[in-house]
Amino acid sequence: MAWHNSEQLAAIANDILVIERLESGKQWLHLIPLNVTQLLKLAIKMNSGLAEEHDVEMVE
């Protein structure tokens, strides 16, 4: 539990640092079009095992 919480805290800290770099102009976002349907299908596929472990039904 403590390991998971520390990982989440580190991820939040990294997100804050990225936001600061974006706001300061030191980092840029390169936006590209993407197929949201394919992205969601991939997310469902990648999380299906976890969903099964917790008796959650994933619906496309």
Q: What is the C-alpha to C-alpha distance for residues 42 and 56, in angstroms, rounded to an integer?
A: 17
Residue 59: predicted pLDDT: 84
Please report, for the chain, the start and end positions of each structural domain, with discontinuous segments joined by +. 2-53
Q: What is the C-alpha to C-alpha distance for residues 46 and 8, in angstroms, rounded to an integer?
A: 20
Q: Kindly provide the b/e burial profile for residues 45-59, where b requires at least 16 CB atoms within 10 angstroms of the residue's own CB.
A: eeeeeeeeeeeeeee
Q: What is the C-alpha to C-alpha distance for residues 42 and 34, in angstroms, rounded to an integer?
A: 13
Sign of CA dihedral 36, 38, 40, 46: negative
pLDDT higher than 90, residue 6: yes
Q: How sure is the predictor about 58, in pLDDT bands with cuts at 50, 70 and 90? A: confident
